[in-house]
Amino acid sequence: AVIGRYKLSVRSTSGGSSSPASVGTFVLLFNPWSSGDDVFMPNKAECEEYVLEEFGIIFGGNKDHINSFGWNFGQFQGDILNICLSMLDRSLNYRQDPATDVSHRNDPKYLGRVLSAMVNANDDQGVLLGNWSGKYEDGKSPSSWTGSGEILQNWKNSGFKPVRYGQCWVFAAVLTTVLRCLGIPTRTITNFSSAHDADGNLRVDEFYDASGNHLDVATDSIWNFHVWNESWFSRSDLGPAYNGWQVLDATPQEESGGIYQCGPTSRTAIKEGEVDLDFDCPFVFAEVNADCMYWNYDPATEKKTLIFSKSTVIGQFISTKAVGRDDRVDITNDYKYEEGSTKERDIFKKARKKLGLEDKFDPTAPTPEEIDQKPDISGKFKVAGPLEVGKDLNLILVLANLRSDAKTVHVNMTAWSTVYTRRPVHDIWKDSVSVTLSPKEEKQFPIKISYSEYQQQLTTDNMIQVTGLCHVEDGLQVLVQRDIILDNPAIDIQVLGEAKVNKEVDVEVVFTNPIHMEVKDCVLQAEGNDLLRGILEIDIPPLKASEKSSIKFKIIPFGTGPKHLLVHFSCDKFADIKTFKMVNV
C-alpha cells in the first residue's frame, strides 16, 4: 500500500438505504518490524536505533583527527510528520504528475530518491540551501544547527522558502529525520578524505602553484569528510544480492537525471565495483575509491606537471554511530576491500572497464613514466604543541634526503584557512626556506603561526591547510601538506539532582575563557526532546581573559528514559562549541 494520510469511513445499511459516515483519518507508514515490508529489518535493536531513536551522533573533522557532535533528529516531535508528508507533495515529481507520483509511494527506493532531492533547495525550492563560502551572515551558519526540528519548522513557517544554510551533515541529518519519521531505517555515514569526482574519470586532480598555494581551479576536490545516508530496504529492481543498506545523498554535488539527487546506490554494488547498476553508482564509488593526482600548475602558461599520485588516500575511516551506544563504528570494509590488496585494485580496474575508461585515451592523464618517477627527498609537517583555537600553532617541517648524494632544496610554504571541503578561504601565512641536505640527512625546521595571524581568518570549521612545495635542484618537486583542525575550548554540563518527570531540576553549564582577551556576544542554546519544549536561548555577559562563567537554567522533563540534552555555545572568538549530556529521567 502507498504510505500517507488516509480517510476512513464506514458505510452502514439499514432498510435498503446506505450512508457513509466519516470515522477520521490515519497515516500509514513503512513497517520495518513486519517481514512482508520492503524495509523489514530482522534485528530488533537495529529497528530501535535506526527508526525510533531521536538522538544521533555525527562524525566530522579529518582522518587524523576525528571529532563528533550530537544531533537531535526529533522525528516524532510536534508537527514533523505533517511537514514530511507535505514535503512529498511539493516534489517536482508530484507537481508534474500527482497520480503517478502517489502510486509510487509504496516504494522506498522511489521515495528515498525523491526525498534526497527535496532536502536540498536546488531545482524544487526544497528544505535547505547549501553554502560552502565560509560566509553566512545572511542566514545561520551550517555548524550552528543542533537538530532537524528547527530547520523543518522554519521551512514550513516561512511558507516553504529554503532555509539558510546547510552543508553535508545538515542535509544528511534532515534526511535521516524524514526517512525515520516515515518508517524507513536510516543512519548517517561519514566518509573521511571523500572524493568529489566531477568529471566521472575515477580520478581527482588538485593543483598547486609554484609558491605552494592550493589553487581553486579544479572541479574535482577531496573533502576532509563528507556525510551521506544509508537506508535499509530491498532492491526488487536489482535482485536480492543487492538488498540491505542503500546510499542516499541529499547534498547537492552533481546532477542525476537532470536534478540534484543521489541514490539509492546499493552498498554491495559499490564494494563489488558494479558501477553500471542504478542509481549513481559511479559517483559514490569514486567518493570512496578515486585515485588522487597532485599537479604543479602555472596559471600564466597553463602548463601542468605531475607532482605525485596516490591510490590509497580516498575513503578512510568510514564511520557511523554504534547501535545502542554513543561510540563510533568503522564500516570501511563494507564499502571496499582492503586498501593496497590485489582484490581492491581488481575491483577498481573492473569499475574503470565498466565505465569505458580503460580503452579511452585520456589526454589529461599522467603518463606511466610520470607516475613511476621516484622523488629524491621526503617531507612532512609534524605537530609540536596543542592544536587549540586561541593558541599559537607550532609545527615542524621535517625534510629527509633519500639519496646518497647531497641535494639542495627550496621550500615555499603557505597556510590558508579552509572550509571542511578543503576549499581555501583566506591566506594566513607564508614563508620559504632553502637548505642543502647531505646524503641521507634529515633536517627539522620549526614553524610558528601565531593566534593573532589566524584569528580573523578562521572559518567556523577551525581548519587550516599548511602546504610546502619543495623545489629540488635537478629533481622532482615534492608536495608536503597537512590539514590541521583546531579544537574549541570545552564546555561542561552538570545536572544538579535527580531528573524526574514533571519535576524541576537545575542544569549548570560552565565555560572558561581560555584566551588573553575578552570574549563577547556570548549566547548559549539548549535543546532536548522530552526535556525542553523548543530551544532555550540565554545571552551571557562578556567574559574577561581566563574568566569562568557558570550558567544555570531549569528543565522540567516530560518523558521517562534516557534523554539527551544538547548545548551549543558561541561568542565572537569561538564559533559553535557543542556538547551533549545523557540525562536519565
Q: DSSP letter string over 472-524?
A: ETTS--EEEEEEEEPBPPPEEEEEES---TT--EEEEEEEE--SSS-B-SEEE
152 and 235 Cβ atoms separated by less than 8 Å: no
b/e map of 411-430 (b: 16 or more CB within 10 Å)? bbbbbbbbbbbbbbbeebbe
Could you tell me which residues are beta bridge partners of residue 13?
18
| Cβ–Cβ < 8 Å for 145, 267 | no
Indicate the pairing of strand 291-298 with strand 203-208. Answer: parallel
CA distances for 577 relative to 200, 227, 235, 236, 515, angstroms: 37, 20, 41, 44, 15
Phi, psi at 459, each rounded to 5° = -90, 175
| Residue 38 annotated in ligand binding | no
H-assigned helices in 357-427: 368-372
8 A C-beta contact, residue 294 and residue 206: yes
Whether 487 sits among the annotated catalytic residues: the reply is no
> Per the annotation, does 296 bind a ligand?
no
Q: Is the dihedral of CA 287, 413, 364, 337 positive or negative?
A: negative
Annotated binding residue at 502? no
- Per-residue b/e over 453-464, b at no fewer than 16 CB within 10 Å? ebeebbbbbbbb
249 is catalytic: yes
Which of 101, 196, 214, 226 is the catalytic position?
A: 226
Exposed, middle or buried by CB within 10 Å (0-12, 13-18, 19+), for 51? buried
Annotated catalytic residue: which of 47, 168, 262, 281? 168
Q: State the cell numbers at 340.
A: 593496497
Q: What phi, psi does 114 have (nearest 5°)? A: -60, -45
289 annotated as ligand-binding: yes
- 107 noted as active-site residue: no
Question: CB-based burial of residue 398 (10 Å sphere; 0-12 exposed, 13-18 middle, 19+ buried)?
Answer: middle
**CA 172-57-45 angle, 5° bins:** 95
CA 495/CA 508 separation, integer angstroms: 6
Locus of grid cell 569514486: 286
Which of 38, 101, 197, 249 is catalytic? The answer is: 249
Residues with catalytic function: 168, 226, 249
Query: Annotated binding site for Ca(2+): which residue ranges?
Result: 289, 291, 339, 344
Query: Annotated binding site: which residue ranges?
Result: 289, 291, 339, 344
